[in-house]
A = this chain, B = another copy of it.
Amino acid sequence: VSTITTFAGSDVGVWEVVRLEPVAGESLESIARLEVIEGIDRVDGARWTLRGVPSYERYVTRVEQRNLIASSPPLGRPEATRAALIPIRKSSGWWDLPQDERREIFERRSHHIATGFKYLPAVARRLYHGRDLGEPFDFLTWFEYAPGDEDRFEELVLTLRATPEWAYVEREVDIRLSREPG
């Protein structure tokens, strides 16, 4: 079952905003803190909210799925006190493509799955889908990692942004977060 998850930009919440930057298209309003709330789609007093559902896999094959499940760490590891929320919207040119051509660009040409896999188990990742909900972003990707893996995470993000897949990204905001240990 897909549980809706709401990311609320506000003055409260466990995650402190380290920086919030537009990468493509319009940015989001600056916030001090971020709250992540499962099972609720409205949050009072937030400056903005973004919603998504974990949903099912759109591109992975059986072999990729097996490898990902074996190597993916859970969210909420005590040492993972850094996080990133990267909301993305892709162009209609992407969404009009048939499934085989999207897979071709996504993996054979851009190595999206293989690249993410290289950073496992250091960087935990969860993808939320917002497109069918009518949200302003098609995807919200949430990452968690330890402070010592910050440079590797930066490398992962820059690698993906240099791929042919990213030519279809028309809006992207990069939000980096930090929380107290424990």
Contact = CB atoms under 8 A, between A and B. Distances in A.
Contacts of A78: none
Contacts of A44: none
Interface string A35-74: 0000000000000000001011111111011000000000
A115 interface: no
A60 B98 contact: yes
A29 interface: no
- Among A61, A65, A99, residue most surrounded by chain B Cβ atoms (within 10 Å): A99
**Which 10 pairs between the two chains have the least Cβ-Cβ distance?**
A132-B132, A61-B100, A65-B98, A56-B95, A62-B98, A53-B132, A60-B98, A61-B98, A59-B99, A55-B132
Given A2-B131, A60-B98, A132-B132, 15 more contacts: A2-B132, A2-B134, A53-B132, A53-B134, A55-B131, A56-B96, A58-B58, A58-B99, A61-B99, A62-B98, A62-B101, A65-B98, A99-B99, A132-B133, A133-B133
16 contacts: A2-B131, A2-B132, A2-B134, A53-B132, A55-B131, A56-B131, A60-B98, A60-B99, A61-B98, A62-B101, A99-B99, A99-B103, A129-B132, A132-B132, A132-B133, A133-B133
